[in-house]
Amino acid sequence: MMPQQKTLFDKIWDAHVVKSSEGHPDALYIDRHFIHEVTSPQAFDGLRKRGVKVFNPARTTATADHNVPTLNQHLPIKEALSRHQVETLRKNCAEFGVELYDLGHPYQGIVHIIGPELGLTLPGMTIVCGDSHTSTHGAFGNISFGIGTSEVEQVLGTQCVLQYRPRTMRIEINGKLSKGVVAKDIILYIIAKLSASGATGYFVEYAGEAIRNLSMEARMTICNMSIEMGARGGLIAPDQTTFDYIKGRKFAPQGETYDRLVEQWRQLKSDDNAHYDLELSYDAADIAPMITYGTNPGMGIKVTDRIPTLSELKDISEQTSFTKSLEYMGLEAGSAILGKSVDYVFIGSCTNARIEDLRLVAKMVEGKKKADNVEVWVVPGSKQVENQAREEGLDKIFEAAGFQLRQPGCSACLGMNEDKIPAGKYCISTSNRNFEGRQGPKSRTFLASPLSAAAAAITGKVTDVRNLV
Amino acid sequence: MSKEKFTTLKTPAVPLPIENIDTDQIIPARFLKATTREGFGENLFRDWRYNSDNTPKADFILNNGTFTGKILVAGKNFGCGSSREHAAWSIYDYGFRVVISSFFADIFKNNALNNALLPVQVSDEFLKKIFAAIEKNPSTTITVDLPQQKVTLEDGSSESFDINAYKKTCLANGYDDIDYLLSLRDEIRHFELVH
Ligand code: SF4
């Protein structure tokens, strides 16, 4: 009999099951746990109440990112509640023996940016964090997913979570991308096809030539937004691009251990005839620069397309939400989005605030100036990204263009700190969510790639980047 | 820690017939700064519920005294977006014990179940029927029977819903997952040793 053909997801899952019984969720061992200030305090409190210690402190890494200011990080945090939350994280990490990359630390940054850049995120692992965009780490060929605070407590207390095995989906992107089209456009395109709930219950494996040709950072952008179509997570089988990226990183295995592990990691792929619950494939040539017009990430179109009309909606049950959404955005059904004036440009977030993103933006704006009507914030994903950008002189390019280069954090991605888009204003953003009020009460978000955001910074309006590159 | 036990609930319901209600609407990020689990109910649906000067918006359903009860009925894909458990805490803290929708986002569903908040998934047709019944009579009651896994309206029409056996036992007895995992600690240590 043929041995059972397995997907990469199934192989990693099966290797981490501590206990499994019929009708019962699996107790899944977690190799790497990341925590931050917003979703961890109640979990530590729970441990205290139960009188339980952290099971394996070396497997948890903490950072402060969601709530931190992006200016003057050397000063105490002004806002009392935010300050208290960061101080609580400090206190908890000290008490329970968890490593913390606090404000001002050279490794501080958005949790999903620092894991990979420090070599903490590796192929074959199981990784969780109390944050839905934990899916980002899946770019390295591992199982990474977001959890709630009760589950953070489970992992702290037992290094395990209880989970039901999700269904698997394979999405293949064949062929080559056109000029001006980047990873962000691929994922916005997929989400527009599948809708904001189309992958709920699934774990997605991305494959195909267009995915293989992407850098690690671009692959992270893709996996990052898996959650925006409802998926638990996304992953990409590791290859030489992955191994090269990991080599020499701070906490990555070194020397002989690295060589030995690379040999193991090469085995991490789905079997040829593995069964997926759903398989989809798209042609890279059909993907254009994308933009969202509504208030969920599934409401995306090619930048040159018109916003659909009510009658063109794929799902008529969504008419009420659609109308409400356009009203919120101050846009007309059936109208063009190209040329729409914007007020803010936000280049940041765990989707697009890595060094390659900043380079892409810098290359486009070098020698140019931002339009007078826009304010532009560039918020690097981590201290290391910020330092690298300065070393490469990108800060000079941004300064000359009139962009503000800030300090690392989640910033206007979720508007928890003071970086908020004012009510009624339009922001073209490289982040991942365009929900009502996400970037500040009544703010209006257009999600797009760093290239499209840079183009809008220069022209002051929604622009087809293909006319500029 | 044991939670409130859930068996059967019969109350009127609050209708929110909007699809894709995301966690940022349930509880906006700027209200996630607390370090305890309590008190989030005050800010449930904050930006739909209050004007920017903090006065209640008269037309929002929670500010309209006509609708009360411990059941929230919402459009499909409820709870999409962030993994913030604060969304489940705020709904529970406000006083709801059940959310009925025709589709739930995964992480929200998990978080709800971990907090004694029962997510009840019904068909699109039955959801429409519920909305219609509430519209006709705002004080009509809905019965959610966990042991029988059944939602029943006053006119007697009903639909059964799915919940897995493990979660059902947890809800009915007020157990949580961590109690179970803590009981596996020796097996987990063993797993660490051999892997
Ligand atoms: S950058 Fe945005 S999406 Fe990413 S972790 Fe921070 S808040 Fe979440």
A221 and A327 together in one domain: no
In a domain, A87, yes or no: yes
B152 neighbors B98 (Cβ within 8 angstroms): no
pLDDT given for residue A317 in this prediction = 76
Count CA within 13 A, CB hemisphere, residue B39. 7
**Inter-CA distances, A57 with A15, A97, A119, A120, Å:** 21, 6, 18, 14
The domain that contains B96 carries what CATH number?
A: 3.20.19.10
Q: Is residue A453 part of a domain?
A: yes
B-chain CB neighbours of A421 within 8 Å are: none
Domain assignment of residue B96, yes or no? yes
Measured by CA distance, the residue closest to atom 2 of ligand 1 is A413
Please name the member of B86, B177, B188 whose beta carbon is closest to the beta carbon of A18.
B188
Residues B123, B129, B131: CA angle, nearest 5 degrees: 105
Query: Is-contact A222 A211, C-beta < 8 A?
Result: yes
Count of helices and strands (H, E) across chain B:
8, 7
Number of domains in chain A: 2
Residue A437 belongs to domain with CATH number: 3.30.499.10
pLDDT for B174: 85
Cα–Cα distance for residue pair A382/A297, rounded to 1 Å: 25
In DSSP notation, B110-134 reads HHHHTTT-EEEE--HHHHHHHHHHH
Q: Which among A215, A222, A224, A209 is positioned nearest to A283, based on CA atoms?
A: A209
Cα–Cα distance, A81 to B126 (Å, whole number): 43
Whether B112 and B83 share a structural domain: yes
Yes or no: say if A278 and A290 are a contact pair by the CB < 8 Å rule.
no
Same-domain check for residues B157 and B175: no
Query: CA B55, CA A443: separation in Å to the nearest integer?
Result: 20
Are A46 and A54 in contact, with CB atoms under 8 Å apart? no
Span from the CA of A415 to the centroid of ligand 1 (angstroms): 10
A148/B17 touch (CB, cutoff 8 Å), yes or no: no
- The CA R_g of chain A, rounded to the nearest whole Å, is 21
B1 found inside a domain: no
B123, B172: one domain: no
Q: With an 8 Å Cβ cutoff, are B47 and A441 in contact?
A: yes
The answer on A345 and A260 residing in a single domain is no
State how far the Cα of A301 lies from the Cα of A173, in Å rounded to an integer: 18
Whether residue A223 is annotated as binding a ligand: the answer is: no
| 3-class state of residue A466 by DSSP | helix
Distance A268 CA to ligand 1 centre (A): 28
The distance of A152 to chain B (nearest Cα, Å) reads: 10
The residue nearest atom 4 of ligand 1, judged by CA position, is A350
C-alpha A62/C-alpha A51 separation (Å) is 21
Dump pLDDT digits (tens) for B25-60.
999 999 999 999 999 999 999 999 999 999 999 999
| Inter-chain touch A435–B33, beta carbons under 8 Å | no
Q: Indicate the residue among A248, A278, A308 that finishes a domain.
A: A278
In-domain check, residue A2: no
**A338 and A389, same domain (yes or no):** yes
Domain endpoint, select from A278, A303, A331: A278
Q: Are residues B13 and B39 in the same domain?
A: yes
- What is the extent of the structural domain holding A316? 290-467
Tell me, yes or no, whether B90 lies in a domain.
yes
Residues A242 and A301 occupy one common structural domain = no
Q: Are A330 and A457 part of one and the same domain?
A: yes
Give the distance (Å) from ligand 1 centre to CA of residue A102. Answer: 17
Q: Give the ranges where A314-428 is alpha helix by DSSP (H).
A: 319-329, 355-365, 383-391, 394-401
Our CA-based measurement puts residue B57 at a distance from the nearest CA of chain A, in whole angstroms, of 15
Do A350 and A110 touch, CB atoms closer than 8 A? Answer: yes
Domain match, A402 and A253 both: no
Of the three residues A278, A312, A344, the one that is the final residue of a domain is A278
Do B52 and B30 reside in the same domain of the chain? yes
Same domain for A272 and A303, yes or no, is no
Instruction: Note whether B45 and B68 are same-domain residues.
Output: yes
Q: Is there a single domain that holds both residue B90 and residue B155?
A: yes
Question: Structural domain tally of chain B?
Answer: 2
Clarify whether residues B158 and B169 are in a common domain. Answer: no
* Same-domain check for residues A294 and A194: no
Q: Which residues of B touch A414 (CB under 8 A)?
A: 24, 29, 82
CB contact set of B159 (below 8 Å; sequence gap of 6+): B122, B123, B126, B150, B151
Q: Are residues A137 and A237 in the same domain?
A: yes
> What is residue A363's three-state secondary structure?
helix
How many CA atoms are closer than 13 Å to the CA of A261, on its beta-carbon side? 17
Q: Is residue A285 part of a domain?
A: no
Helix (H, G, I), strand (E, B) or coil at B195: coil
pLDDT in 10s for each residue of chain A, 469 residues: 567 899 999 999 999 999 998 888 999 999 999 999 999 999 999 999 999 999 999 999 999 999 999 999 999 999 999 999 999 999 999 999 999 999 999 999 999 999 999 999 999 999 999 999 999 999 999 999 999 999 999 999 999 999 999 999 999 999 999 999 999 999 999 999 999 999 999 999 999 999 999 999 999 999 999 999 999 999 999 999 999 999 999 999 999 999 999 999 999 999 999 999 999 999 999 999 999 999 999 999 999 999 999 999 887 778 888 999 999 999 999 999 999 999 999 999 999 999 999 999 999 999 999 999 999 999 999 999 999 999 999 999 999 999 999 999 999 999 999 999 999 999 999 999 999 999 999 999 999 999 999 999 999 999 999 999 8
B168 and B147 in one domain? Answer: no
Residue B185 has pLDDT above 80, yes or no: yes
Domain membership flag for residue A389: yes
Pocket of ligand 1 (CB under 6 A): A 65-66, 110-112, 131, 133, 349-350, 410, 413-414, 431-432
**Whole-prediction pTM:** 0.96
Which chain B residues are closer than 8 Å to A82 by Cβ? Answer: 33
Query: How many interface pairs between A and B have CB atoms less than 8 angstroms apart?
Result: 188
Question: What tokens does A343 get?
Answer: 């007020």
Q: Tell me, yes or no, whether A142 lies in a domain.
A: yes
Domain span at B48? 8-162
Residue B2: what pLDDT? Answer: 52
Asked, for residue A1, whether it belongs to a domain, the answer is: no
Residues B107 and B188 in one domain: no
Same domain assignment for residues A170 and A149: yes
Please indicate, yes or no, if residue A58 is contained in any of the structural domains. yes
